[in-house]
Amino acid sequence: MFIAWTTLATRAEAEKLATEVVSLGLAACVQVEGPIVSFYNWQDRPERTEEFRLCLKCLPNKLPALETHVLGHHPYATPEWIVVRAERVGEKYLSWAGASPTKWPL
């Protein structure tokens, strides 16, 4: 299983993207967190921005399509996209993620 993160400017944008990737079967689960506060340099200027973080969980065979969808529908010029492989995943959770039917939208 992989865990990926990205951020968006508004809760509405975050919830829209989360709903899309789950309804398309690209992610088993997406959590929307925030607002969070991000500090970074952009175009040689320090920035402080409130954002909403998505934590996306997906199976290995879904990762390429998930990445393509997220980056293709992301409004940022340089979106955060960080992916890690989960070292351990509970058997019940992994079984659920592999068999999770999509019944969206909520």
Per residue in 20-55, pLDDT tens? Answer: 999 999 999 999 999 999 999 999 999 999 999 999
Assess whether pLDDT exceeds 70 at residue 60.
yes
How distant, in Å, are the alpha carbons of 2, 12, 54, 77 from that of 34?
21, 12, 9, 21
* Residues 6+ away with beta carbon under 8 Å from 38: 7, 47, 48, 49, 50, 51
Mean pLDDT of the chain: 93
- Residue ranges of the domains in the chain? 2-88
Task: Give the C-alpha separation, 69 to 71, whole Å.
Answer: 6
| Span of 69-78, 82-91, 97-106 with lowest mean pLDDT | 97-106
What is the largest distance, in Å, between two alpha-carbon atoms of the chain? Answer: 47
Assess whether pLDDT exceeds 80 at residue 74.
yes
Contacts 24+ apart (CB under 8 A), 43-50: 49/9
Instruction: Give CATH for domain 2-88.
Output: 3.30.70.120
Assess whether pLDDT exceeds 60 at residue 103.
no
CB distance 47 to 7 below 8 Å: no
What predicted TM-score, i.e. pTM, was given to this entire model? 0.90
